[in-house]
Structure 1
Protein backbone atom coordinates (compact mmCIF):
# COMPACT_ATOMS: atom_id res chain seq x y z
CA UNK A 1 0.00 0.00 0.00
CA UNK A 2 1.30 3.43 -0.92
CA UNK A 3 1.47 6.03 1.81
CA UNK A 4 1.70 9.69 0.81
CA UNK A 5 2.59 12.36 3.35
CA UNK A 6 2.69 16.12 2.97
CA UNK A 7 3.58 18.61 5.68
CA UNK A 8 3.34 22.38 5.35
CA UNK A 9 3.90 25.37 7.65
CA UNK A 10 0.93 27.71 7.88
CA UNK A 11 1.09 31.28 9.16
CA UNK A 12 -1.97 30.95 11.39
CA UNK A 13 -2.66 29.69 14.87
CA UNK A 14 -3.33 25.98 15.33
CA UNK A 15 -6.79 26.90 16.62
CA UNK A 16 -7.62 28.75 13.40
CA UNK A 17 -6.25 25.99 11.15
CA UNK A 18 -8.26 23.40 13.08
CA UNK A 19 -11.41 25.55 12.97
CA UNK A 20 -11.19 25.61 9.17
CA UNK A 21 -10.44 21.88 8.81
CA UNK A 22 -13.08 20.69 11.26
CA UNK A 23 -15.77 22.73 9.48
CA UNK A 24 -16.38 19.66 7.32
CA UNK A 25 -19.45 21.09 5.59
CA UNK A 26 -17.69 24.23 4.35
CA UNK A 27 -14.79 22.84 2.30
CA UNK A 28 -15.97 24.89 -0.70
CA UNK A 29 -16.03 28.13 1.33
CA UNK A 30 -13.14 27.84 3.75
CA UNK A 31 -10.61 25.15 2.81
CA UNK A 32 -10.58 24.77 -0.99
CA UNK A 33 -12.62 27.60 -2.50
CA UNK A 34 -12.46 27.38 -6.27
CA UNK A 35 -11.27 23.77 -6.30
CA UNK A 36 -14.45 22.49 -4.59
CA UNK A 37 -17.73 24.01 -5.78
CA UNK A 38 -20.05 22.66 -3.06
CA UNK A 39 -20.08 20.46 0.03
CA UNK A 40 -23.02 18.44 1.32
CA UNK A 41 -23.27 16.34 4.48
CA UNK A 42 -25.53 13.30 4.86
CA UNK A 43 -25.00 11.48 8.14
CA UNK A 44 -21.37 10.34 8.28
CA UNK A 45 -20.88 11.03 4.55
CA UNK A 46 -19.53 14.15 2.91
CA UNK A 47 -20.09 14.86 -0.77
CA UNK A 48 -17.65 17.18 -2.52
CA UNK A 49 -18.82 18.63 -5.84
CA UNK A 50 -16.19 19.97 -8.22
CA UNK A 51 -16.62 22.72 -10.83
CA UNK A 52 -16.74 20.14 -13.65
CA UNK A 53 -19.71 18.37 -11.97
CA UNK A 54 -17.66 15.45 -10.62
CA UNK A 55 -18.68 14.32 -7.10
CA UNK A 56 -16.66 12.44 -4.51
CA UNK A 57 -18.34 10.67 -1.59
CA UNK A 58 -16.29 10.45 1.59
CA UNK A 59 -16.90 8.72 4.89
CA UNK A 60 -15.99 10.98 7.80
CA UNK A 61 -14.37 8.69 10.36
CA UNK A 62 -12.93 10.91 13.11
CA UNK A 63 -13.09 14.56 14.06
CA UNK A 64 -10.97 14.77 17.21
CA UNK A 65 -10.86 18.24 18.74
CA UNK A 66 -8.40 17.21 21.48
CA UNK A 67 -5.71 16.03 19.05
CA UNK A 68 -6.82 18.25 16.12
CA UNK A 69 -7.09 15.23 13.85
CA UNK A 70 -9.58 14.60 11.03
CA UNK A 71 -9.82 11.16 9.38
CA UNK A 72 -11.81 10.31 6.27
CA UNK A 73 -12.03 7.76 3.48
CA UNK A 74 -13.04 8.28 -0.15
CA UNK A 75 -15.78 5.78 -0.94
CA UNK A 76 -16.89 6.76 -4.45
CA UNK A 77 -15.76 9.01 -7.25
CA UNK A 78 -11.99 8.89 -6.83
CA UNK A 79 -9.96 9.72 -9.91
CA UNK A 80 -8.02 7.59 -10.62
CA UNK A 81 -10.22 4.74 -9.36
CA UNK A 82 -8.99 3.39 -6.04
CA UNK A 83 -9.42 0.05 -4.32
CA UNK A 84 -8.68 1.63 -0.95
CA UNK A 85 -8.32 5.16 0.43
CA UNK A 86 -7.75 6.34 3.99
CA UNK A 87 -6.49 9.81 4.89
CA UNK A 88 -5.92 12.04 7.88
CA UNK A 89 -5.16 15.66 8.62
CA UNK A 90 -3.32 16.68 11.76
CA UNK A 91 -2.71 20.21 12.99
CA UNK A 92 0.35 20.81 15.19
CA UNK A 93 1.55 23.94 16.95
CA UNK A 94 4.82 25.36 15.67
CA UNK A 95 5.40 28.47 17.76
CA UNK A 96 2.83 31.03 16.67
CA UNK A 97 2.40 29.13 13.42
CA UNK A 98 1.04 25.71 12.61
CA UNK A 99 2.10 22.61 10.75
CA UNK A 100 -0.52 20.80 8.75
CA UNK A 101 0.18 17.13 8.04
CA UNK A 102 -1.86 15.25 5.42
CA UNK A 103 -1.30 11.50 5.20
CA UNK A 104 -3.04 9.41 2.54
CA UNK A 105 -2.89 5.63 2.09
CA UNK A 106 -4.06 4.24 -1.25
CA UNK A 107 -4.34 1.08 -3.28
CA UNK A 108 -3.42 0.30 -5.97
CA UNK A 109 0.13 1.50 -5.58
CA UNK A 110 0.11 2.58 -9.23
CA UNK A 111 -2.29 5.42 -8.30
CA UNK A 112 0.19 6.93 -5.85
CA UNK A 113 2.13 9.21 -8.26
CA UNK A 114 -1.04 10.99 -9.42
CA UNK A 115 -2.47 11.18 -5.89
CA UNK A 116 0.86 12.58 -4.62
CA UNK A 117 0.74 15.38 -7.21
CA UNK A 118 -2.91 16.23 -6.49
CA UNK A 119 -2.47 16.26 -2.71
CA UNK A 120 0.68 18.36 -3.10
CA UNK A 121 -1.25 21.01 -5.01
CA UNK A 122 -4.19 20.63 -2.61
CA UNK A 123 -2.22 21.27 0.57
CA UNK A 124 -0.63 24.37 -1.00
CA UNK A 125 -4.11 25.67 -1.89
CA UNK A 126 -5.31 24.92 1.65
CA UNK A 127 -2.40 26.93 3.07
CA UNK A 128 -3.36 29.94 0.93
CA UNK A 129 -7.03 29.79 1.92
CA UNK A 130 -6.32 29.32 5.62
CA UNK A 131 -3.74 32.12 5.76
CA UNK A 132 -6.08 34.47 3.86
CA UNK A 133 -8.76 33.99 6.51
CA UNK A 134 -6.45 34.19 9.54
CA UNK A 135 -6.28 37.23 11.80
CA UNK A 136 -3.32 39.42 10.85
CA UNK A 137 -0.51 39.54 13.41
Structure 2
Protein backbone atom coordinates (compact mmCIF):
# COMPACT_ATOMS: atom_id res chain seq x y z
CA UNK A 1 0.00 0.00 0.00
CA UNK A 2 1.28 3.45 -0.88
CA UNK A 3 1.16 6.26 1.66
CA UNK A 4 1.00 9.88 0.60
CA UNK A 5 1.97 12.49 3.19
CA UNK A 6 1.48 16.20 2.71
CA UNK A 7 1.61 18.88 5.34
CA UNK A 8 1.52 22.62 5.71
CA UNK A 9 1.84 25.28 8.36
CA UNK A 10 -1.28 27.39 8.73
CA UNK A 11 -1.08 30.86 10.23
CA UNK A 12 -3.99 30.12 12.58
CA UNK A 13 -3.87 28.64 16.11
CA UNK A 14 -4.06 24.83 16.24
CA UNK A 15 -7.30 24.89 18.27
CA UNK A 16 -9.01 26.94 15.57
CA UNK A 17 -7.76 24.66 12.76
CA UNK A 18 -8.90 21.60 14.70
CA UNK A 19 -12.35 23.13 15.22
CA UNK A 20 -12.73 23.44 11.43
CA UNK A 21 -11.35 19.95 10.68
CA UNK A 22 -13.53 18.35 13.37
CA UNK A 23 -16.64 20.02 11.93
CA UNK A 24 -16.97 17.08 9.52
CA UNK A 25 -20.33 18.18 8.13
CA UNK A 26 -19.01 21.58 7.06
CA UNK A 27 -16.01 20.66 4.90
CA UNK A 28 -17.66 22.49 1.98
CA UNK A 29 -17.80 25.74 3.94
CA UNK A 30 -14.76 25.61 6.20
CA UNK A 31 -12.04 23.62 4.44
CA UNK A 32 -12.71 23.21 0.73
CA UNK A 33 -15.21 25.81 -0.48
CA UNK A 34 -15.38 25.59 -4.25
CA UNK A 35 -13.92 22.08 -4.41
CA UNK A 36 -16.81 20.56 -2.43
CA UNK A 37 -20.28 21.96 -3.14
CA UNK A 38 -22.09 20.37 -0.19
CA UNK A 39 -21.62 17.89 2.65
CA UNK A 40 -24.13 16.02 4.76
CA UNK A 41 -23.88 13.43 7.48
CA UNK A 42 -25.65 10.07 7.45
CA UNK A 43 -24.79 8.25 10.66
CA UNK A 44 -21.04 7.56 10.56
CA UNK A 45 -20.85 8.56 6.90
CA UNK A 46 -20.19 11.89 5.27
CA UNK A 47 -21.54 12.40 1.76
CA UNK A 48 -19.71 15.02 -0.26
CA UNK A 49 -21.37 16.55 -3.30
CA UNK A 50 -18.89 17.83 -5.85
CA UNK A 51 -19.51 20.86 -8.08
CA UNK A 52 -20.40 18.54 -11.00
CA UNK A 53 -23.11 16.87 -8.88
CA UNK A 54 -21.23 13.61 -8.29
CA UNK A 55 -21.10 12.27 -4.74
CA UNK A 56 -18.40 10.67 -2.64
CA UNK A 57 -19.33 8.70 0.46
CA UNK A 58 -16.78 8.62 3.26
CA UNK A 59 -16.89 6.58 6.45
CA UNK A 60 -15.75 8.68 9.41
CA UNK A 61 -13.46 6.20 11.14
CA UNK A 62 -12.18 8.30 14.02
CA UNK A 63 -12.69 11.78 15.43
CA UNK A 64 -10.19 12.11 18.28
CA UNK A 65 -10.35 15.50 20.00
CA UNK A 66 -7.45 14.70 22.35
CA UNK A 67 -5.03 13.94 19.51
CA UNK A 68 -6.75 16.38 17.09
CA UNK A 69 -7.03 13.61 14.52
CA UNK A 70 -9.74 12.81 11.99
CA UNK A 71 -9.61 9.56 10.01
CA UNK A 72 -11.90 8.64 7.14
CA UNK A 73 -12.20 6.11 4.32
CA UNK A 74 -13.73 6.64 0.91
CA UNK A 75 -16.27 3.85 0.46
CA UNK A 76 -18.24 4.98 -2.62
CA UNK A 77 -18.02 7.37 -5.52
CA UNK A 78 -14.27 7.68 -5.89
CA UNK A 79 -13.54 9.07 -9.36
CA UNK A 80 -10.04 7.63 -9.39
CA UNK A 81 -9.62 3.88 -9.97
CA UNK A 82 -8.69 3.11 -6.35
CA UNK A 83 -9.43 -0.14 -4.57
CA UNK A 84 -8.56 1.32 -1.16
CA UNK A 85 -8.47 4.86 0.21
CA UNK A 86 -8.02 5.72 3.88
CA UNK A 87 -6.87 9.13 5.04
CA UNK A 88 -6.35 11.16 8.18
CA UNK A 89 -5.80 14.74 9.19
CA UNK A 90 -3.87 15.63 12.29
CA UNK A 91 -3.54 19.15 13.65
CA UNK A 92 -0.38 19.89 15.64
CA UNK A 93 0.64 23.12 17.35
CA UNK A 94 3.53 24.94 15.69
CA UNK A 95 4.19 27.90 17.96
CA UNK A 96 1.22 30.25 17.55
CA UNK A 97 0.33 28.50 14.29
CA UNK A 98 -0.80 25.00 13.34
CA UNK A 99 0.76 22.22 11.33
CA UNK A 100 -1.78 20.21 9.35
CA UNK A 101 -0.65 16.70 8.36
CA UNK A 102 -2.70 14.78 5.77
CA UNK A 103 -1.84 11.10 5.37
CA UNK A 104 -3.52 9.00 2.69
CA UNK A 105 -3.11 5.25 2.14
CA UNK A 106 -4.09 4.04 -1.32
CA UNK A 107 -4.19 0.99 -3.51
CA UNK A 108 -3.12 0.35 -6.18
CA UNK A 109 0.35 1.72 -5.54
CA UNK A 110 0.54 3.19 -9.03
CA UNK A 111 -2.16 5.73 -8.12
CA UNK A 112 -0.01 7.38 -5.44
CA UNK A 113 1.31 10.16 -7.74
CA UNK A 114 -2.23 11.15 -8.78
CA UNK A 115 -3.40 11.11 -5.16
CA UNK A 116 -0.35 13.16 -4.13
CA UNK A 117 -1.16 15.80 -6.76
CA UNK A 118 -4.75 16.07 -5.47
CA UNK A 119 -3.78 16.25 -1.82
CA UNK A 120 -1.05 18.82 -2.52
CA UNK A 121 -3.61 21.05 -4.26
CA UNK A 122 -6.16 20.34 -1.54
CA UNK A 123 -3.93 21.25 1.38
CA UNK A 124 -3.06 24.57 -0.28
CA UNK A 125 -6.80 25.27 -0.65
CA UNK A 126 -7.43 24.28 2.97
CA UNK A 127 -4.66 26.59 4.21
CA UNK A 128 -6.02 29.48 2.13
CA UNK A 129 -9.58 28.89 3.38
CA UNK A 130 -8.55 28.73 7.04
CA UNK A 131 -6.23 31.72 6.87
CA UNK A 132 -8.92 33.67 5.00
CA UNK A 133 -11.49 32.85 7.66
CA UNK A 134 -9.08 33.98 10.36
CA UNK A 135 -8.56 37.37 8.70
CA UNK A 136 -12.13 37.93 7.56
CA UNK A 137 -13.63 40.98 9.17
CA UNK A 138 -17.38 40.84 9.77
CA UNK A 139 -19.19 43.53 7.87
CA UNK A 140 -21.22 45.99 9.84
CA UNK A 141 -24.18 47.98 8.71
CA UNK A 142 -24.86 51.54 9.65
CA UNK A 143 -28.30 52.93 10.30
For normalisation by structure 1, the TM-score amounts to 0.96
Mapped to 1, the partners of 2:113 and 2:43 lie a distance apart of: 32
Residue 81 of structure 1: how far off its partner (Å): 2.0
Is the aligned partner of 1:130 residue 2:130?
Answer: yes
1:112-131 equivalences in 2 (<5 Å): 112-131=112-131
In 2, Cα distance between equivalents of 1:28 and 1:119: 16
How many Å separate the matches in 2 of 1:47 and 1:73? Answer: 12
- Output the CA distance in 1 between the equivalents of 2:69 and 2:135: 22
Q: For residue 78 of structure 2, give the secondary structure of its aligned residue in structure 1.
A: coil
Structure 2: give runs of 5+ residues left out of the alignment.
137-143
* Cα distance in structure 2, aligned partners of 1:52 and 1:86: 23
- Residue 17 of structure 2 corresponds to 17
TM-score (norm 2): 0.92
Are residue 65 (structure 1) and residue 65 (structure 2) matched?
Answer: yes
Structure-to-structure mapping, 1:20-31, within 5 angstroms:
20-31=20-31
Q: Secondary structure at the match of 1:34?
A: coil
SS across alignment from 2:130:
helix
CA displacement 1:101-137 (0-9 Å, x = unmatched): 000000001111111100100000000001111258x
Cα drift, residue 79 of structure 1: 2.0
**Where in structure 1 do 4 or more consecutive aligned residues deviate above 4 Å?**
none
Structure 1: 5+ residue stretches without partners:
none
Q: 1:14 Cα deviation (Å)?
A: 0.3
For these two proteins, the number of residue pairs brought into alignment is 136
> C-alpha root-mean-square deviation of aligned residues, in Å?
1.0
User: Which residue does the alignment assign to 1:110?
Assistant: 110
